[in-house]
Amino acid sequence: MTLYLSADLPAYDVLRGEGLSVADDGQAPASALHVSVMNLMPDRISTETQFSRMLARSGRDVVLNLLRPTGHKARHTPQRHMDRFYRTWPETQTHRIDGLIVTGAPVETLPFEDVNYWPEMVRLLNWAKNRQLPSLHVCWAGQAALKVYHDVPKHPVGAKLFGVFEQTVHDSGARVLDGVGSSFPVAVSRHTEVREADLPRDGSIRILASSDASGLCMLEDFSANAVYMFNHFEYDTDTLVREYRRDVDAGQPIAPPANVSIDDAEANPARDPSWRKGAVVFFDNWLSRLVEARGWPADKPTDYSMVSQVVAE
C-alpha cells in the first residue's frame, strides 16, 4: 500500500528510489492509519527514514507524523529540519493518532529522572495508556514505559550488547509475531537491559521473544496496549557498523558488532539485512492492531468529528 508523508522530507525521495509506494500526506485517503513517531534518536533523518521504510513496506495505507519533545534541541539534526517536519507532542494531541511509536534514545545510561525531557515522556506515556492507544516502544523507550507503568528498573550490562543475535519466540500465538517463525535475527545495540525477574507477576505482561546472548527482546503489555521491543527491527544493513565507526572515532571502548561482517555491510549498505523479513511482518501485524483498535473498517471513510472527539477527551 502507500505511505503518506511530506514530499519534502528526505525519506520521500529515498523510498521512491527504492520502488516503494509513497505520496504526499495531503493526498491521504480518510481510511489511512495515522501513526505518530516520537523520534528521540541522535540522527533524526536516518531514523525517520528507517521507520518510514517499515511503514511503507506494510500492507496498509499509513500517514506518518513526526514528534519531538518540547524544548529539546537536536544536536545532530539541523534545527530547520526539526522546525519544518516535527510537531511537539502537546501540539499534536488534538490531531488524529491511531498508533504511537517511540524510538530509542542515547540516554540509557542516565537515570530516567536525569533525562531532560523525562517529565514530558511520563505525560505522553500516561496519556497513551489512558486512551489504550496502540503503542510500540523501542529500546530505551520500552524501558521508559516499563518504568512509568510498572516501576521496572533497567540494569547496566557491562560491555555493550552489540551485534546481530537470534531471538527465540516464546509465544507462537502472539499476533504481532504471526508469520515471523520460531526464531528471528535482529540488530541489538544496548548498554542496559530489563530482567525477567523484575517484571510484574500479575499477568499484565508476557514475554514474546528473548535470546540467551542478548536477554529480553520483546514484551507485550496488556495493561497499556503496548509492545516493547528492546532491539532494532528498523535498522539498516550498515547501521550497526556506522554506530561502531562513530564510537571508535569518539574514543569510546567498543568491540565490533557481533555476527556482522563490517566489510560486507559497508560494501552493500542498501541490501536488505537478515532481519528485514521478520521486521516487515512484525510492523504489518502491529498496524493491524491499529485497525482493530480504531473500530472503523479500513475501507470506509473516517468520521473525523468522531476522531477529534476521541483524541481530545
Residue 121, strand partner residues: none
pLDDT of residue 254: 93
Q: Give 61's contacts (C-beta < 8 A, 6+ positions apart).
A: 1, 2, 3, 4, 28, 29, 31, 32, 33, 298
Distance, CA of 260 to CA of 275 (rounded, Å): 12
Span 198-221, average pLDDT: 97
| Residues 49-76, mean pLDDT to the nearest whole number | 90
pLDDT of residue 95: 83
155 catalytically annotated: no
Query: Would you say residue 71 has pLDDT above 80?
Result: no
Of 139, 217, 220, 243, the active-site residue reads 139
In the numeric block, the cell 505525560 is attached to 123
How many whole angstroms separate alpha carbon 48 and alpha carbon 67? 10
Q: Which of 48, 108, 220, 234 is catalytic?
A: 234
Sign of the torsion angle spanned by Cα atoms 265, 167, 35, 175 = positive
What is the percentage of the chain residues whose pLDDT exceeds 90? 82
Phi/psi of residue 174, nearest 5 degrees:
-70, 125
Rounded to an integer, what is the distance from CA 178 to the centroid of its chain?
Answer: 18
DSSP E strand stretches across 194-267? 205-211, 215-221, 226-229
Model-level pTM?
0.92
Is the model's pLDDT at 305 over the cut of 60? Answer: no
What are the two backbone dihedrals, phi and then psi, of residue 92, each rounded to the nearest 5 degrees?
-100, 0
Calculate ∠ Cα 197-180-299, nearest 5°: 115
Is residue 113 annotated as part of the catalytic site, yes or no?
no
Residue spans of the domains in the chain: they are 3-156+193-235+274-312
Contact partners, residue 71, CB within 8 Å, separation at least 6:
116, 117
What is the topology classification, in CATH, of domain 3-156+193-235+274-312? Rossmann fold (3.40.50)
| Residue of 238 and 59 predicted with greater confidence | 238
Catalytic residue among 108, 220, 232, 243: 232
Strands 183-193 and 62-68: unpaired
The type of residue at 172 is S
pLDDT recorded at residue 209: 98
Express each pLDDT in 132-143 by its tens digit.
999 999 999 999
How does pLDDT run across 82-121, given as a tens digit for each residue? 889 999 888 877 789 999 999 999 999 999 999 999 999 9
User: How many Å apart are CA 115 and CA 93, to the nearest integer?
Assistant: 22
Instruction: Provide CB contacts within 8 A for 169, sequence distance 6+.
Output: 177, 180, 181, 182, 183, 184, 208, 209
* pLDDT of 313 higher than 50: no
Q: Which residues partner with 137 through β-bridges? A: 102, 228
Known active-site residue 232: yes
Q: Which residues, in sequence order, are CB contacts of 243 under 8 Å at separation 6+?
A: 162, 189, 257
